[in-house]
Homo-oligomer: A and B are copies of this chain.
Amino acid sequence: MTQVTVWNEFRHERHNDTVAEVYPEGIHTVIADALSEAGFETQTATLDEPDHGLTEAVLDDTDVLTWWGHAAHDEVQDEIVDRVCERVREGMGLLVLHSGHYSKPFTQLMGTSCSLKWREAAETERLWVVEPGHPIADGLDEYIELDNAEMYGERFDIPAPDTLVFTSWFEGGEVFRSGCCYQRGNGRIFYFRPGHETYPIYHDESIQQVLANSVAWAAPGDGPTPKFGNSEPIEVIDESDDRTVH
């Protein structure tokens, strides 16, 4: 059974009343509950726990990690970030949510700034499925509509996704690549745009369906573990001119 660790910065919910009303027990609790109901084994971890709740033991036991952060990206220790990225390369799935675009694990794994345009104006967002045959679109309609969303607009400074599943339309006139699949090392990464802390996005049924689909998609397989480094030839080769100097 796929083990999911739901990570949350968990600051807004404790310090801001508007957010606390929408997510009284934290964004992570709502996400973890939705994923449990979808049949995954879930646990949560938050920034202010020791090791941010992401000890070696926890990560070794995690098939897919979901990441929500916003105001305290800088407080995530580099050692833990490296640990997360290393686990992704080994095969752990990573689901990066909304403002997690600026998180250290995501920007480190992408190699770009992951910058974008944004605006908080409670405007309509419509996520169009542009790749309906992708497993992450299972069970969805042609689009998901959110009445009140923060806007994220292009240019989104990411590497072109391996697969683009969703593209968002915003009332204010922008578009955004809002569902982006990546393979990095042996691990699969999905960036999913919606999820601002002041709107009840993670309570939405379609959004929960995408979360479940993307966890299933990102769960590690059983592919070969690459061997790196100095390597004996498989075939007989002519080494008569070998100038090896190291």
Chain A residues within 8 Å of B, Cβ to Cβ: 12, 16, 18-19, 85, 89, 91, 108-113, 115-124, 126, 128-135, 137-142, 147-148, 151, 153-157, 159-160, 162-164, 167-175, 177, 182-188, 197-199, 220-235, 237-246
Q: What's the nearest-Cβ distance from chain B to residue A118, in Å?
A: 6
Identical chains in the assembly: 4
Contacts A113-B89, A154-B129, A184-B111; A120 near B224 (Cβ below 8 A): no
Q: What's the nearest-Cβ distance from chain B to residue A122, in Å?
A: 4
Q: Considering only CB atoms, which chain B residue lies closest to A17 in the complex?
A: B245
* Besides A12-B245, A119-B233, A128-B175, 20 new A-B residue pairs in contact (Cβ under 8 A), listed by A number: A19-B245, A118-B231, A119-B231, A119-B232, A120-B246, A122-B238, A130-B156, A132-B223, A133-B183, A134-B183, A137-B224, A140-B223, A147-B241, A157-B228, A169-B173, A169-B174, A171-B233, A171-B235, A172-B237, A174-B234
